[in-house]
A and B are shown apart, each in its own frame.
Chain A
Amino acid sequence: MPQPKVGVFICRCGGNISDTVDCDHLREKASKWSYVVVARVEDYLCSKPSQDRLVEAIKSRGLDRVVVACCTPRMHLSTFHDAMRRAGLNPYMLEFVNIREQCSWVHADDKEAATKKALRLLKGGYERCLELEPLEPMEEPCRKEVLVIGGGIAGITCSLELADKGYKVYLVEKGPSIGGNMAKLTKVFPTLDCAQCILTPKMAEVSRHPNITLLTLSEVENIEGYPGNYTVKVKVKPRGVDVSKCAGCGICSKACPVEVDDEYNENRSKRKAIYVPFPQAVPYAYVIDFSACTRCGACIEKCPRDAIRLDEEESQLELKVGGVVVAVGYELLDAKLLEDYGYGQYPDVITMMELERLTSLFGPTKGLLRKFSDQSEVKKIAIVLCAGSRDRNRYVPYCSKVCCMYSLKQAVLLREQFGVEVWIFYTDIRAAGKGYEELYVKAQESGVVFVRGRVAEIRRGEHGLLVRAENTLLGKVMEEEFDLVALATPMIPPSGLRQLADKVSLPIGEDGFIQEKHPKLGPVDLLRAGIYACGCALGPRDVRDSVADALAASSRVDTFLRRGVVISSPEKPWVYWEQCDGCGACMEVCPIAAIELKEGKAAVKVVSCIGCGACIPACPKSAIDFKNYTRRQLEAQLKGLLAEKREGDVVIVAFVEKNIAYTGLDFLGLDRVNYPAETLPIAIPSSAILGRDLLLKAFMLGADGIVVIEGQKWVDEAFRWRFEEALASLEEAGVESTRVYYSLIELPAYRKIADILRTHTSMVRDLGPLGAEERVRLSRAMEAR
C-alpha cells in the first residue's frame, strides 16, 4: 500500500481562532508528523481563494487525505466536501477538527491551555485521518405523498402549495372542519381585511384540489419508517354523518334536542349535538358531537337524505408518505389561571378571542357589542396586554408576539365601527413589521387611550369593572372603570403536542413548542430529515408569518423529495461476513429491526438504519463495524488526542453524540461559555456505540476520566442499561467507575453540558491521574478478552 499523503490546513477564522490559539505553533508541530506533506495556516479557510489553494495543493502535491482545523463541521462540512470533490478526492477522506466552537471560543481565558488543547484535537484528527476510507452515499427511492398535520392557515397553505407542485397530500385535521383559529377572527392586521374573505377561498380550494385528501376528525397515532418512506397510522373518529350525502340543510339540527356550548363562539353561545361548526366549514356537512349526543334518533327521522350514521365507528387508516409537515397550531392560555384578573369570577372579564367573537356577525350576540353580565350596551372597553405572557414568575416567559397587533386592530375596529371608548394597558407596544407601526399610529389617532402599565388587578367597581394599574409614565396609580375588560392571553403549545411529539419523536423546546433545527438558518427543518414544521406549532406567529413558514416548509419538502430518491448517509454499520456466525445478537439490540439474516449472516438494511450504532458492541465476534466511526478510527483518534499527555496531566475524554449533543457543544461555543480545557470531545454516532472495550481503550491510552453526552432521549431510554453494565466491568478491571460520567442532555438544556464538564473535571482532578499500573492492568484485561 502506498504511504498516506496528508495535508493539514489550519484556519485563523479572522482572529476568531487565532486570537486565542497559536495557529502557527500548530502548523509547525503538524509539519513534523510522519505523513504530513503540506501544513498551512489560512485567514479564512472557507473563503473562495483559500478553497482554491486547498484544491491546488491537493492536486499539485498529490495529497490523498486532508485534515482541516477550523470551525464546526455543522457549518462548513459541505464546503470542504465540495473542495475535495473538485480536487478529485473522495469527500470522506477529509477529517474535520473543530478548534473554534470546541476550543478558541470556550477557552479564550487561557491562550496557552487553548493552544495545547487545539494541538491535541489536531493530533487526534491527524491519527484518525490515517484510518479514513472512501465512502459513497446511498440512494433509495422515495414516495411522492406528503402528510400535513393540522388544518389551520399554515397547514392549508402548505397543503395547497405541495398539491400544486404535484405531490399527493394527506391533510389530517383533528376537528370536524379545517380553518383553525383564523376562522374565528373577524378582521386581520395590519390591513384590517376580512379574515373569512381571505381564508375561505383557500379552504374551498383544499376541498376541490385533486391532489389533496382531507381527513377531518383524524389524529396521527404513529409514524414509522425512515426519511422518504414513512408509514403513518391515523385514527379517524366517527362523524356520524355521511359527508357525500349531507346537503347541509340543517333539518337534523333543528330536530336535535341536545344543546351544548359552542366552541366556535368560545363557549359563549349554544349549539346542538348535531351541528355544522361554522357557516363556511369545510367539509360543509353536519357532524355529531358524540360526547353530547344521547342517540335519541330524532335527527335520523328527519334527515331527508338518510345521511346520518349513529352507529359509525372509529377507524384506522394507514398512509404511506415520503415527508411530513407538522402544522398543529396553538391554543390560548386558560384565562382562569390568571389569579389577579378574576376571569370566571366577573362575567365581563373576557379574552381577546371572546371579544373577537363578540364583534362577529356570526358571534353569540350577532355582532352587537353587549355585556355578558346583563346584556347592556358596552361603552368603554379595556384591553389588557401581556395577560400571562412575559411572565417568567407565574405564567409563560415569552412574548406572545401577536397580541400587541391584534389588540391595536381590535381597538381601531371598536373605535371606527362601534364608536366605543377603548383603553389599552401595555408594557411595550411591539409593532415590528410591514404596516404595523402605521397601524399603531392609526390606533392612536383614532382616539385609543394608551396607558403604559401592566394591569395589577381587576375588581368590581361601582358601575362596572375597576382596573388598577400604575400609569408608569406619570408614576401614578390609577383605578378606572370599564364595561368590558378583554385579556390578551398568550399563545401556548396545543395540548396534544407533547403526546404527538412522544409518538413521532419531535424535538420540543423549553417553551413547549416544536424546536426547529436552527433558529435562523433552519427555521422549518427539524432534526429528523423529511419532517418539517410550520406556523404556531413552532411558536407564536401571526397569519403572515405562518403562511411564510408554510411556503418554506412546502419548499423544503419539495427539495427533499423531488428527485424521487433520498440520499442516505454512508455512515452506517456493516458486517464482515467472514467473521459473522449469524448469532443474531446485533438483531436483538437493533431498535428498529434494520438487521436481517441473509444466508445465515447478518445484513444491515442501510436506508432503514438510523445509525445509532447499538449493534457494534453487541457483536461477540467484533464482526460488525460502523463506517466513518470504525473501531480503528476511534482508537486512532483517542491515541492522537492523548499523545501529547505529560506526567501529572489530567485529561478527560468527552464522547459526544454527533448530532444533538454535538450541537449543544457548539451552542456553548456560540455563547462563549468557558469550561475546562482538559476536556477533549470526540464525536460518536450515539452513546449506544460505546461498549466496555472503547471505554477501557480510552483509559488505557491515557484518559483519566470520561464524560459521555447523549442527546437523544430514546437512545438513553433504550441503551442506558448497557452503559451501566460497561461501568461494572470497568470496576472489575480496577478503574473507579466514578471516573466515568454519563448524561442525557437534550438540546434545550445544552448549558448543562458545561456544568457537567466542569464538575466532572474537578472530580477527576481530585482523584488524580490514573496510575501507570492501572493502565497496564487494563491492557492486560483487554488482551485477555
Chain B
Amino acid sequence: MKLEALSRHELLACMQCGVCVGSCPLSTRSTLNVRRITASLMTKSLEVGDELWDCTTCYLCVYRCPRGTKPLDLIIELRSERVEAGKIPPTLRDSLENTFKQGNPWGKSRVKRGEWASGLGIKRLLELEDSKILLFTCCASAYDPRAQEAARALVKVLKAAGVEPAFLGEDEVCCGNEVYNIGELGLFEELMETNKANMGEGVETIITTSPHCYYAFKNRYLGLKAEVLHYTQFLARLLDEGLLKLKGLADVVVTYHDPCYLGRRSGVYEEPRKLLKAIRGVKLVEMERSRSRSLCCEGGGGRMWFEGPPGRRLAEVRVVEASSTGASILATACPFCLANLEDGVKTAGLEDKLRVMDVAELLAQALPSS
C-alpha cells in the first residue's frame, strides 16, 4: 500500500497543516493522529497502533480538510487490513459475528426484529406488496428499548399524517454502515445484498430512523433505485404539504444536537429544526457548537461496541453544553445519539434539568390526538 493508499484517498496533497487532528474531538484523549499516519506513509513507514479503533468516523477531519483529502477513508482501509489479519478488539469482533449470525450487532434474535412494532398496526412489506413507502429501522430502533420508543413515536406521527409505511420486520438486517466503518467490507456487501433483495423493486421511498442507515443507503449501497430519506426529511415534506398537523406543547426550551451522519455527512441541518419550530410552545435555541461544528456523541465507527480511550466522554461534554443554553430538552434524530446523550445526562448528573428526546417523540407529543 503506502503511497498507493495515500493516492486512493487523495492524501498525496496533504500539507500537514494538522486541521484534521486539531478538529478530531478525541485528539485530547486518544493518540490517534491521522496527520502523522499520513506523514509516516509518505516515508513508507507506517506507524499506528490500537488507537486506530478510537475513531468515531465523525467526519470532521474530512469536512475541514483544506485540500479535500479523505483521511477517514484511510483509517477505514487500515482497519480493514487488521480485520483481515484478525487483529481486532474482541468486543468489535463479537459485534461483527453477531451481525453475521443474527443480522444485528447485539446478537438479538433475528426473528424478534419486528417485535418493536407490535400493536402499531403497520404491516410487513411481504403482506403489503403494493406499498410504495418502506420504513427501515436501525438495529437500535428495533432492539434497544429506548430507541424503540422513538421508532414507535415515529410510526404514530406518520400515521397521523396519513402515511401507512410498510416495514421489513424479520427480513431486515443491519444496514452495515458501522460494519463498513469497522473495516469488514465483505460482511457489509452481504448485508447490502440481503437488504436490497428484501426491499424489492416496488418501493419508491425508503425512510430511515437512523442517519447511519440513511448515509449507507445514499452513499455506500450500489444500485438502490428508491429515493432514500431520513425521517426528518420525510416529515418536513409532509409538513410543507400540510399533511402533518401539529398542535402545541406547553412552553418549553429545546436545543437540537446535529448527528454527525445527518449534519456534516449529509448536509441535513434545516429539516429537524423546521419540525421543531413547527411545534407551538417550543423555543428552539442553538448550542455554541451547532450544525457543522456539532460534537460527536461517540456512537459511530463501531464505538457503540468498543469502549475507546479513557477520559471524559464527549456525550457528557455535549449535554453540559446543551444544558448551558437553558434548554430542558435536548432533541436529536439518531438512535445512537439518543442512547449516548442519555448516558451523558446520567454521568453529568443532569437528570433533573435535561431530558434527551428524539425529534419524533416531541412531534408525537404534539399531535392533535394525543
Does B292 lie within 8 Å of A470, measured CB to CB?
Answer: no
Does B27 lie within 8 Å of A470, measured CB to CB?
Answer: yes
Does A459 lie within 8 Å of B288, measured CB to CB?
Answer: yes
User: Which of A395, A452, A459, A469 is close to B289, meaning CB atoms less than 8 Å apart?
Assistant: A459
Q: How far is the CA of A457 from the CA of B23 in the complex (A)?
A: 7
List residues of chain A with CB within 8 A of the CB of B114. none
Q: Give the distance to chain A from B159, nearest Cβ to Cβ, in Å.
A: 38
Does A460 lie within 8 Å of B288, measured CB to CB?
Answer: yes
Given contacts A340-B293, A479-B28, contact A454 B18 (CB under 8 A): yes
Q: Does B3 contact A (CB under 8 A)?
A: no
Given contacts A454-B22, A457-B22, contact A392 B36 (CB under 8 A): no
List residues of chain B with CB within 8 A of the CB of A469. 18-19, 22
Q: Give the distance to chain A from B35, nearest Cβ to Cβ, in Å.
A: 7
Does A456 lie within 8 Å of B22, measured CB to CB?
Answer: yes
Q: Give the distance to chain A from B109, nearest Cβ to Cβ, in Å.
A: 43
List residues of chain A with CB within 8 A of the CB of B280. none
Interfacial residues of chain A within 451-481, with CB under 8 A of chain B in the complex: 452-457, 459-460, 468-472, 475, 477, 479
Does A393 lie within 8 Å of B22, measured CB to CB?
Answer: no
Q: How far is the CA of A613 from the CA of B58 in the complex (A)?
A: 59
Q: Does A606 contact B (CB under 8 A)?
A: no
Q: Does A390 contact B (CB under 8 A)?
A: yes
Q: Does B277 contact A (CB under 8 A)?
A: no
Q: How far is the CA of A725 from the CA of B161 in the complex (A)?
A: 55
Does A453 lie within 8 Å of B68, measured CB to CB?
Answer: no
Does A392 lie within 8 Å of B67, measured CB to CB?
Answer: yes
Q: Does A339 contact B (CB under 8 A)?
A: yes
Q: Does B21 contact A (CB under 8 A)?
A: yes
Interface size on B, residues (CB 8 A): 25
Q: Does B291 contact A (CB under 8 A)?
A: yes
User: Which of B28, B35, B60, B289 is close to A472, meaning CB atoms less than 8 Å apart?
Assistant: B35
List residues of chain B with CB within 8 A of the CB of A392. 66-68
List residues of chain B with CB within 8 A of the CB of A479. 28
Q: Give the distance to chain A from B314, nearest Cβ to Cβ, in Å.
A: 14
Query: Chain B interface secondary structure, helix, strand, loop or mixed?
Result: loop
Nearest to B324 among chain A residues (CB) is: A460
Q: Give the distance to chain B from A48, nearest Cβ to Cβ, in Å.
A: 45
Q: Give the distance to chain B from A510, nearest Cβ to Cβ, in Å.
A: 16
User: Which of A345, A386, A428, A477 is close to B22, meaning CB atoms less than 8 Å apart?
Assistant: A477
Q: How far is the CA of A468 from the CA of B295 in the complex (A)?
A: 14
List residues of chain B with CB within 8 A of the CB of A455. 19, 22
Q: How far is the CA of A455 from the CA of B65 in the complex (A)?
A: 11
Does B67 lie within 8 Å of A470, measured CB to CB?
Answer: no
Does B35 lie within 8 Å of A386, measured CB to CB?
Answer: no
Q: Does A312 contact B (CB under 8 A)?
A: no
List residues of chain B with CB within 8 A of the CB of A339. 291-293
Q: Give the distance to chain A from B318, nearest Cβ to Cβ, in Å.
A: 13
List residues of chain B with CB within 8 A of the CB of A16. none
Interfacial residues of chain A within 199-228, with CB under 8 A of chain B in the complex: none
Q: Give the distance to chain A from B72, nearest Cβ to Cβ, in Å.
A: 14
User: Which of B18, B288, B289 is close to A470, meaning CB atoms less than 8 Å apart?
Assistant: B18
Nearest to A339 among chain B residues (CB) is: B292
Q: Does B46 contact A (CB under 8 A)?
A: no
Does A427 lie within 8 Å of B15, measured CB to CB?
Answer: yes
User: Which of B19, B28, B33, B293 is close to A475, meaning CB atoms less than 8 Å apart?
Assistant: B33
Nearest to B18 among chain A residues (CB) is: A470
Q: Does A391 contact B (CB under 8 A)?
A: yes
Find the residue from A386, A428, A457, A459 having the highest chain B CB count within 10 A: A457
Does B27 lie within 8 Å of A477, measured CB to CB?
Answer: yes
Does A391 lie within 8 Å of B288, measured CB to CB?
Answer: no
The contact string, 1 if C-beta is below 8 Å from chain A, for chain B 10-25, is 0000011111011110
Q: How far is the CA of A479 from the CA of B293 in the complex (A)?
A: 16
Q: How far is the CA of A456 from the CA of B35 in the complex (A)?
A: 13
List residues of chain A with CB within 8 A of the CB of B60. 456
Does A453 lie within 8 Å of B22, measured CB to CB?
Answer: yes
Does A453 lie within 8 Å of B18, measured CB to CB?
Answer: yes
Q: Does B64 contact A (CB under 8 A)?
A: yes
Does A477 lie within 8 Å of B64, measured CB to CB?
Answer: no
List residues of chain B with CB within 8 A of the CB of A452. 18
Q: Give the distance to chain B from A273, nearest Cβ to Cβ, in Å.
A: 35
Given contacts A339-B291, A477-B21, contact A472 B66 (CB under 8 A): no
List residues of chain A with CB within 8 A of the CB of B289. 459
Does A475 lie within 8 Å of B36, measured CB to CB?
Answer: yes
5 contacts between A and B (CB under 8 A): A340-B64, A386-B17, A394-B66, A469-B19, A477-B22
Beyond A391-B66, A392-B67, 15 extra complex contacts between A and B, CB < 8 Å:
A340-B292, A386-B66, A393-B64, A394-B66, A452-B18, A453-B22, A454-B17, A454-B66, A456-B60, A459-B289, A468-B22, A469-B19, A470-B33, A470-B35, A472-B35
A-B pairs, top 9 by smallest CB distance, nearest first, are A456-B22, A470-B18, A391-B66, A454-B17, A456-B23, A472-B18, A470-B21, A393-B68, A453-B18
